[in-house]
Amino acid sequence: MKRIAVIGGGASGLVAAFFASEHADVVIFEKQKKIGSKILVTGNGRCNLTNSSLDVTRYHGRNPKFVLNLFSRFGLDETLSFFERIGIPVVEKDRGRLFPASLQASTVVSMLEYELRRRGVAIQVHRRIDRIIPERKLTVITAGREHHSFDAVILSAGSCAYPPVGASHIGYTLAVSLGHTVHEPFPALLPITIPLKIIHRLEGIKRDCGARVELDGRAIAESEGELLFTKYGISGPAALDISRAVNENVIQGQKPVILIDLFPELTADELRGVLFALWRDGDKTVSFSLSGLLHQRMPSVLLHVMGLDPEKRVAKLKEIEKETIAKTMKALRLVPGEPRSWSEAVVAAGGVAVDEIDPATMESRIVKNLYITGELLDIDGDSGGYNLQFAWSTGAIAGMAQ
């Protein structure tokens, strides 16, 4: 019987081991003290398994169409069937997000571990792999200089995103040592720094907003949802969804801007109507006139950003100033700062070039019997279960190829 090594006990590695164990002896090498550490923190601990609206536009990288080949082999239906098979019913929450019915990520890890042990998969924790030597067979060498020989190796070591759960660069290092191209990773899906200090006064305020990223007047990313103002900038789903586009361009030396629509449910003309109705009482200050429309800390901050005096009487507002307020409410202009650290990044963009991987099997086109899966590859998805779906699909395909 073939012997298969799976390097990494994350989402793609565990599923790869499950399917490979149907026809082979499988050993998982995990450098952490337990498997599934990153799964446990996904979806705020609820584990957003996948999304009912899978689409190539939700994925990014130099060749995002790579996912089409994967999902034709192991897509949404196959994923749901797999989880039902191992005893995890799935429920749908907001915007097509699918979760285990228990709403606990720990359920997913414990069920996967149970199935792997039942199938005889050897799980070795505290075993970091430092080298892979491609000979007639593939030899893996641990940090403790142990040598193990395998018929095939599935490299599922994950990305460098979110070090608190053990993320590192080791997967990229191993891939490069075997001749693969690795596109420099950068943090995706994380809060955004806004250097404008007065905005930091809004810390803790949540609001449903639209968010658009523009570069040279052209929209390059858009989102809508909850936005959270923080002590350093913005966070929440609406910010996370646009963070990849922001970071990629900032890193490249470009100057993107973020436009926040504080009233996405209203057209510009509808908002003007609301504002002008509020300004019928000319004795109110401009800030106070907006207090019924916005969180009490927002009017003063926003008016300062516009260069307007919050204590000015409504009756003294010029028409151009009224128009400035209306326009800013629909397009608050924020300039992002440098990307925040890897410790806050949920996902890494960049990674192993997918043109060097056969999507039918996940086998390397460079090293025979080497398979590469999951977040280590140069594909990253939007928030909402898309990244875990990519992990399940790539892991399953690699495992079934054994």
pLDDT score at 142: 96
Find, among 221, 238, 192, 234, the residue nearest to 337 by Cα.
192
Find, among 96, 109, 104, the residue nearest to 28 by Cα.
109
User: Residue 49 — pLDDT band, cuts 50, 70, 90?
Assistant: very high
User: Coil, helix or strand for 56?
Assistant: helix
Tens of pLDDT, residue by residue over 341-352, are: 999 998 999 999
Q: Could you tell me the domains of the chain? A: 2-187+347-400 (3.50.50.60), 192-334 (1.10.8.50)
Query: Under a CB-based contact definition with an 8 Å cutoff, are residues 330 and 367 in contact?
Result: no
Q: Please state the rounded mean pLDDT for residues 16-35.
A: 97
Q: φ and ψ at 127, to 5 degrees?
A: -125, 90
For all residues of the chain together, what is the average pLDDT? 96
Number of helices and strands (H, E) in the chain?
12, 23
pLDDT score at 134: 95
Integer Cα distance of 24 and 22 in angstroms: 6
User: Residue 385 — pLDDT band, cuts 50, 70, 90?
Assistant: very high
User: Coil, helix or strand for 103?
Assistant: coil
Instruction: Evaluate if residue 51 carries a pLDDT over 90.
Output: yes
Q: Please state the rounded mean pLDDT for residues 366-375.
A: 98
Residue 282, classified by CB atoms within 10 Å of its CB into exposed (0-12), middle (13-18) or buried (19+), is exposed
pLDDT score at 95: 79
Instruction: Evaluate if residue 44 carries a pLDDT over 90.
Output: no
Q: φ and ψ at 150, to 5 degrees?
A: -140, 155
Integer Cα distance of 293 and 303 in angstroms: 14
pTM as predicted: 0.93
Tens of pLDDT, residue by residue over 217-259, are: 999 999 999 999 999 999 999 999 999 999 999 999 999 999 9
